[in-house]
Amino acid sequence: MEVANPLKRKRDDVVPPDDSQVDLSILEAVEKSQNAVEVLDLRTLKRLVFSFERRLKENIEARLKYPDQPERFADSEVELHEELEKLKILAGAPELYPELVNLNAIPSILNLLSHENTDIAIDVVHLLEDLTDEDVLEDNDEPARILVDSLIENNVLELLVQNLQRLSDKDPDEMSAVYNTLASIENMIEVKPAVAELVCERTKLLRWLLGKIKVREFDSNKQYASEILAILLQNSTANQKRLGQMNGVDVVLQAVAMYKSKDPKTSDEEEMLENLFDCLCCLLMPLENKERFVKAEGVELMIIIMKQKKSAYASAIRALDFSMTKYPPACERFVDVLGLKTAFAAFMGKIPMSKKNKKERYQEELEERLVSLIASLFGGILRGSRRERLLSKFVENECEKIDRLMELYIRYSDRVKAETQRLEQLELDDLEMDEEEKYNRKLESGLYTLQQLITVILGHVWCSEHSQMRARIELLLKQQKLTKKDIKDILQEYHDNIGDLDGPEEKERAQTRIQKIISAF
């Protein structure tokens, strides 16, 4: 039989109160407490900080006085917890952060991350996450910078990561604190990007993150760890090299290998897998990590993932593209382990179908990656039997790969023409652009793929002096009312705009290679 909740009576049952039986002072106090909204000003801030410092002092004294009698300092711990909870209100007034720093409250708050009671350290983690929250700091750049600078000066990174290592994923509260620790670090990077390298220099966060992505079971913290790792690697060569030296390439490969023959079960798990591939691609920027990737049989793993045709298919192609860019040993390994058949099947459009890859942009990105990969193969394998095997792909099935290449060439050419006309119209509308800006606009429209990749591949095929392939290229150009001069003009523009990002010697070598192709037409 269901017992009625005495607090939930119907409106009709409510008896009007008898004034003689009600203590009006109690009603007045309740009304005041409901209407009272704490005004966040300097005075309130000082009162909160003073109250927190007092409770902190009491807790320290109680623990020193009764170290072996927890019941004697338990009350002071509860009071300290309540004070930390009250400080969260400051997230509603980020303009007061400089005053919080001036009151020298930051060292006291951060020292509690080493408190013997993990719950108190967890309170501080939640407080930091609230204070540095992206939505809170929006439009408050200067207060945010002052707060983050003070946190860094007072060793927040070291203390957060030390505390992280004592938290367990088996306890829900501690699991939540792990998440909020990572969130606080991400928030600080958002305010001060240099934190991404600082946290890796000063702490063992990278090693902790590697340990987290090694775990086979999926949870929200593993997902977040993969995201933070990707953020740390994104724009930092130092972090990419550091993680490479810590066996990071191998660990990330093991993490993605779990999905070589199965798909993620949820959208969150799918996002984690994409994060892991982002990490892998960032790791593959420095040359020494490309070497580690080849040594750890990363090329073979990516080909297996492509053959299995699971959701990581496109990500595997992206990783291969990164590994082979300006690194001939990866290109050679790719040919040796029979990767050409798998790559060219994808190049011809034989890609696994799903909801995701029905989207036009997904297919375009895949095409660009595959074209980039093939261009890298031509750039990395200059002679010998491997070169012959690569070129033979363009002869088989009546030169169907050349047909496909020309199809892409025409599509990107049309896009470039449309962009050129648009830029000319903008100039007529008095929006002046120099040649470099015009060139960059064309790159964005797809000319990057067209120039650097498709025409370079056509050039390599032409330079083979294979009569059947040359005849096919000439026929297709004629059908489109184009000539070899059109190809040469695009290659010349590419030649003239090669930058010296990799140094003047590499620029000269690249220009010489392109000039050789131009001369062959």
Cα distance between residue 367 and residue 449, in whole Å: 10
- What is the CATH code of the structural domain delimited by 40-202? 1.25.10
Low-confidence ranges of the chain (pLDDT < 50): 1-22, 26-27, 29-37
Cα distance between residue 357 and residue 366, in whole Å: 9
Domain ranges of the chain: 40-202, 362-520
Write down the pLDDT at residue 509.
Answer: 87
Q: Which two tokens stand for residue 264?
A: 């993620």
Write down the pLDDT at residue 27.
Answer: 46
Spatial CB neighbours of 224, under 8 Å, sequence gap ≥ 6: 179, 182, 183
Q: 10 Å Cβ neighbour count for 213?
A: 21
For the stretch 93-128, pLDDT in tens is 999 999 999 999 999 999 999 999 999 999 999 999
Spatial CB neighbours of 48, under 8 Å, sequence gap ≥ 6: 83, 86, 87, 89, 90
Contact 133, 91 (CB under 8 A): yes
Write down the pLDDT at residue 34.
Answer: 42
Sign of CA dihedral 66, 70, 73, 77: positive
For the stretch 185-239, pLDDT in tens is 999 999 999 999 999 999 999 999 999 999 999 999 999 999 999 999 998 999 9
Write down the pLDDT at residue 23.
Answer: 53
Write down the pLDDT at residue 357.
Answer: 58
Write down the pLDDT at residue 427.
Answer: 66
Write down the pLDDT at residue 8.
Answer: 34
Write down the pLDDT at residue 452.
Answer: 73
Cα distance between residue 76 and residue 64, in whole Å: 12
217: left (phi over 0), alpha (psi -120 to 50) or beta: beta
